[in-house]
Amino acid sequence: MDDKVAVMNLEQVGAYMKLMCFCWNNDGLPNDKDELKNMCGNPESWEVIWRKVGKCFYENNGKLYNKRLEKERKKQEAWREKSKLGGEKSAKSRRKKAKLKGGSTKVQPPIEPKANTPSPVFSLQSSSSNNKRESKDSLCLEKFQDEDIRLTQLLIDLMTENNPKSSILRRLTPKRQEVWIDECRKLREIDERTPEQIEQIIIFSQNDQFWKSNILSIPKLREKFDQLWLKAKKEKFSGIKEWLNEP
């Protein structure tokens, strides 16, 4: 965990995570404290929050950025370029083989990442296997909504910060990731929880000394959601005060 984040309280961590998501989705943040305050739900203690959270961002050409996010963005751009070149090389090789065999040289073009395919802030775990099961076990994000992917990624990120050597995350196969994302969908659609509620309960669970060692998956988060809600309310967790007052 970054030293600047380690000294934040729960409300500051909540604001930090929200701004990180906005920063990723919008390629930077506006360099305007009033707009940033509005993005975080207009907390009363904004000046105190920003004194801590603001240290995690730097200004460039009128916008704010985060070094960690920009490093990840460059990694994903490099991966997309590598995938594109690899696809082109593979297609060229197949054309050559088809020509030598006297068959058709018409080969399907390489598949490139779709521009509108949601890219998680920190790439979801993916299978590194190159055997015959690879295609069957690959992670298909297109069938999920952006919010469910983002929220699943948030839990993965916070679990990683709490325990970088987590055996649960090491064993998180693409198929299992899809189960997690689908449980997020069920939290929204069946349990009628808003993305904001789910986000704040994820943040609360990974900052609570007891729950961070017990909430180690989205299915477990869904199972214990009501208990987490009640404990957050009892402890007056300020990051979710707006909706904890609901009847």
Q: What is the total count of domains within the chain?
A: 2
* Tokens 């669970």, located at residue: 205
Q: Do the domain assignments include residue 77?
A: no
| Residues paired with residue 59 on neighbouring β-strands, in sequence order | 64
The answer to whether 159 and 169 are in contact (CB under 8 A) is yes
State the pLDDT at residue 165: 87
Nearest-angstrom CA–CA distance, 111 and 84: 8
Q: Do the domain assignments include residue 113?
A: no
Last residue of a domain, one of 12, 31, 65: 65
Reading the chain (247 residues) residue by residue, the pLDDT tens digits are 567 888 888 888 888 888 988 898 888 999 999 999 999 989 989 999 999 999 999 999 999 999 888 888 787 777 767 766 766 666 676 667 666 666 544 544 443 444 443 444 444 544 344 444 444 445 566 667 888 889 999 999 999 988 988 889 888 888 899 999 999 999 999 999 999 899 989 998 998 889 999 999 999 999 999 999 888 888 765 555 444 444 3
Q: Do the domain assignments include residue 115?
A: no
Helix crossing, 10-25 with 146-162: angle to 10°? 130
pTM of the model: 0.48
* Residue 64: half-sphere exposure toward Cβ, Cα within 13 Å: 18
State the pLDDT at residue 136: 45
* Tokens 């707006």, located at residue: 242
Last residue of a domain, one of 46, 65, 84: 65
What are the tens digits of pLDDT across the range 42-72?
998 999 999 999 999 999 999 999 988 888 8
Q: Do the domain assignments include residue 13?
A: yes
Q: Do the domain assignments include residue 105?
A: no
One DSSP character per residue, the chain reads --HHHHT--HHHHHHHHHHHHHHHHTTSEES-HHHHHHHTT--TTHHHHHHHHGGG-EEETTEEE-HHHHHHHHHHHHHHHHHHHHHHHHHHHHHHHHHHTTS----PPPP---TTS---SS--------STTTTTT----TTS-HHHHHHHHHHHHHHHHH-TT-HHHHT--HHHHHHHHHHHHHHHHTS---HHHHHHHHHHHHHSTTGGGT--SHHHHHHTHHHHHHHHHHTT-GGGHHHHT--
State the pLDDT at residue 101: 63
Nearest-angstrom CA–CA distance, 17 and 13: 6
Last residue of a domain, one of 28, 47, 65: 65
| Residues paired with residue 65 on neighbouring β-strands, in sequence order | 58
Q: Do the domain assignments include residue 125?
A: no
State the pLDDT at residue 155: 93
Q: Do the domain assignments include residue 95?
A: no
Which range of residues forms the domain containing residue 18?
3-65
State the pLDDT at residue 63: 93
- In angstroms, what CA-CA distances link 210 with 37, 103, 199, 200, 206? 30, 64, 18, 16, 9
State the pLDDT at residue 75: 79
User: What six digits make up the tokens of 197?
Assistant: 């509620």
State the pLDDT at residue 112: 41
User: What six digits make up the tokens of 160?
Assistant: 């990683």
Q: Do the domain assignments include residue 123?
A: no
State the pLDDT at residue 76: 76
